[in-house]
Amino acid sequence: MLSSTVMSVSPGVPTPSSLTPPSPPSSSPVRAIPGSYGWPVLGPIADRLDYFWFQGPETFFRKRIDKYKSTVFRTNVPPSFPFFVDVNPNVIAVLDCKSFSFLFDMDVVEKKNVLVGDFMPSVKYTGDIRVCAYLDTAETQHARVKSFAMDILKRSSSIWASEVVASLDTMWDTIDAGVAKSNSASYIKPLQRFIFHFLTKCLVGADPAVSPEIAESGYVMLDKWVFLQLLPTISVNFLQPLEEIFLHSFAYPFFLVKGDYRKLYEFVEQHGQAVLQRGETEFNLSKEETIHNLLFVLGFNAFGGFTIFFPSLLSALSGKPELQAKLREEVRSKIKPGTNLTFESVKDLELVHSVVYETLRLNPPVPLQYARARKDFQLSSHDSVFEIKKGDLLCGFQKVAMTDPKIFDDPETFVPDRFTKEKGRELLNYLFWSNGPQTGSPSDRNKQCAAKDYVTMTAVLFVTHMFQRYDSVTASGSSITAVEKAN
């Protein structure tokens, strides 16, 4: 299995079956799902304005939990009217760990075309191909493409850590120069260059430097490509009501990024030939299917996810000198100076792993998960049972589900060592950020992120490298404002 290479170095991870969410009491009645979709057109518009403007996504869901006294309820999520006439915004929200876990039970739900809900970006963004993220496990093509993605990761595992470290050195050198010059340096561009560079080498098998344009602007091309697909579903903190009128009212056409996407396609076609050949000969994919799926994994899944996750990780560490001191001590006491960072060398950094997991709990890169009922079934929360009908769309907002007070003590607080020791490692069964629990294993029979373990281990490498290089790092917003070099 793909993830075995990385999972074998993860500290003390329990098996998925070692702890399961508590079942409701046998006397729990089947409860009618509370909430309402409201009047046609008007209900979805009212919920959309609350979601984007008056409340924001997290408050939107929390207020409805309080209103209905339930973590399972009916509501609407954007996008909706006026120009999304073919999108049904009606969902059943599932917002505690137990009900949330049903989103990943492929026996009762399907994932066909529900990556971002009933809305689906135009397939023109992916060469008129439904890439793996939009395929359900029951579709034959899913197994081929998911196996291809896992094979890419498995083959890249031998160079992954070294490429991460080499690209991190370049990133921090750039930031150091900026801080020395003006006492502050934005880390966004150096960070995105770092992410794009190591991912392209690991996944495509090509060095971006062979194409000056891709090396200079490839990450910007991916930024725009991902952003335009998701724009109707995300808040950009633009001046309201202009955001609602101009950004959330219609889907953006592919032609706005067509030229850039073509350049990325041609780069992969020309320089990723070894990967493309395996896709065609070993997994029975056409060249076009191979390239478009590879670009989606590179750009949407990997680059897009890390671009959100790493700033959250830096923010979690900034302004916490005691935590930084503990992390520095763990890194330097367990890894000898001059040791090359590998998945193996960082496997025993329990606090570093825990900080990564806690960041994923409170700030998951993908905030929403969706699934459509494959059949009629009974869904349970901690204290109730609900009848779900075939075709119902379930929606889970991860930040709320991951602060379930019946699972996590002091759930709203960032607790750096939450996932340490035996109790903390058991909590990994409830850490859902990757289309499944942290203790799960990606396979062609589920929708769990193929790179789940690579993501966490890359973040561990990121933190470890930082405290090998620095005694402390101070960040404010999107800038590094101070660094203290290690002696």
**Pairing mode, strands 109-110 and 368-373:** antiparallel
CB atoms within 10 A of CB 284: 11
Please check whether residue 280 is in contact with residue 177, taking contact to mean a CB–CB distance below 8 angstroms.
no
- Over the range 328-360, which residues count as b (16 or more CB within 10 Å of their CB) and which as e? bebbeebbeeeeebbbebbbebbbbbbbbbbbb
Please check whether residue 480 is in contact with residue 175, taking contact to mean a CB–CB distance below 8 angstroms.
yes
Q: Is 449 annotated for ligand binding?
A: yes
d(CA 33, CA 74): 7
**H helix intervals, 250-286:** 258-271, 273-282
C-alpha distance from residue 96 to each of 195, 349, 385, 396 (Å): 33, 30, 13, 9
Q: What is the CA radius of gyration of the chain?
A: 22
Beta bridge partners of 476: 479
What backbone phi and psi angles, to 5 degrees, belong to 185? -145, 130
CA-based angle 482:483:487, to the nearest 5? 150
Give the distance from CA 205 to its chain's centroid. 23
Please check whether residue 444 is in contact with residue 146, taking contact to mean a CB–CB distance below 8 angstroms.
yes
Q: Which helix (H) or strand (E) holds 44?
A: helix 42-49
Which residues fall in the annotated binding site?
A: 449
What are the binding residues for heme? 449
